[in-house]
Amino acid sequence: MTQHLVSVSGGKDSTAVYLLAMESGRPFRAVFADTGNEHEQTYEYVDRLHERTGGPKVEVVRADFTKELARHREYLLREWPKQGIPDAVVQEAAALHEPTGNPYLDLCISKGRFPSRMAQFCTGELKEIPITTQVVGPMLRNGPVLQWLGIRAAESRNRARQPRYNHHESGSMVWRPIFRWSIDQVWDIHKRHGIERNPLYTMGMGRVGCMPCINCRKSELRAIALQFPEHIDRIERWESIVAAANKRRSATFFPAVTDPTDVDRPGTYSRIRTLVEWSKTGRGGRQYDMFFAQQAGGGCASDLGLCEGADHG
């Protein structure tokens, strides 16, 4: 018998799919991949979804980079001294390769960098692989699995090109049951079940996901900085940790844009604090304008669409 699995992100579309699965009357499981870079409202929303709806409790999976960190620590202790890297730098980096238990941070330390639009390894490593290995794989041993995904064509041109159904390389089938839904239909099913939307939507967030997402837009970054400055502080700390753990001694959450037009610090690498200040004032920073104009606004290119995108229609 086909087993049904709904991937939940805490956002509106995956919640709509969870509610739709309940309406179908079929038994199903629901899973949330905790990246470690989520807002506390999202954790609370996902944790209590079953109480608010009467549906199944959402299971939580987390990636574990203990082995990758150990492998990289061994490598740097062996190779960096041969490259003339000072012992103090090697020892500091090695010490920072102890697992922190935060998947996002551990992934970045093990890679020596943050993900970017051009190297968006976060979605796969933090969501797709843990869900596939920890949940889908074991389910497949008991029979076929149908994954229900909260992907809508209106989110992006890339998503509009995806099929309604397809085989996934894990061996499961994936289905996008709300593919043609409008945003109004998404809110309607929330209303039908008396479910409040994730409060982040009423706090100026266009999408729910990492706080912030590497794909966020200028306006989202500004809104996060104004309402949740502690999350910017956390990313700033992470930038320092990831920088000290790699031999370039630098790491920026957003791609390291060097901005020759920055009025205060021309040609410097742009850590998140600089980008936040710029997002509030818009002063200087032509390169930043170009960078953020190209931002996708959230979402990911993966087949499973596990990161929510912003609406384009």
307, 309, 310, 311: residue in contact with ligand SF4 (rule CB under 6 A) = 307
By CB under 6 A, residue 110 contacts ligand SF4: no
Matching residue, tokens 């935060």:
102
By CB under 6 A, residue 296 contacts ligand SF4: no
Largest CA distance in the chain: 65
Residues 15, 49: contact at Cβ < 8 Å?
yes
Residues 69, 99: contact at Cβ < 8 Å?
yes
Matching residue, tokens 């608010």:
52
The CA distance from 112 to 93, in Å, is: 10
Q: Which stretch binds ligand SF4 (CB under 6 A): 91-99, 117-125, 137-145, 175-183?
A: 117-125
By CB under 6 A, residue 210 contacts ligand SF4: yes
CB-CB neighbours of 207 under 10 Å: 26
Q: Which stretch binds ligand SF4 (CB under 6 A): 54-62, 194-202, 207-215, 242-250?
A: 207-215
The CB-of-126 to ligand SF4 minimum distance in angstroms stands at: 5
Q: Residue 189 or 213: which CB sits closer to ligand SF4?
A: 213
Order of strands, sheet of 3-7, starting from the edge strand that comes earlier in the sequence: 58-61, 28-33, 3-7, 145-148, 173-175, 165-167
Q: Which stretch binds ligand SF4 (CB under 6 A): 10-18, 116-124, 173-181, 276-284?
A: 116-124
By CB under 6 A, residue 295 contacts ligand SF4: no
Encoded amino acid at 284, one letter: G
Residues 10 to 39 in contact with ligand SF4, rule: CB under 6 A: 35
Measuring CA to CA, which residue among 134, 111, 101 is closest to residue 33?
134
By CB under 6 A, residue 297 contacts ligand SF4: no
By CB under 6 A, residue 272 contacts ligand SF4: no
Distance (Å) of CA 87 to CA 73, 112, 248: 14, 18, 15
The CB-of-33 to ligand SF4 minimum distance in angstroms stands at: 8
49, 174, 189, 213: residue in contact with ligand SF4 (rule CB under 6 A) = 213
Residues that bind ligand SF4 (CB under 6 A): 35, 115, 120, 122-123, 126, 209-210, 213-215, 300, 307
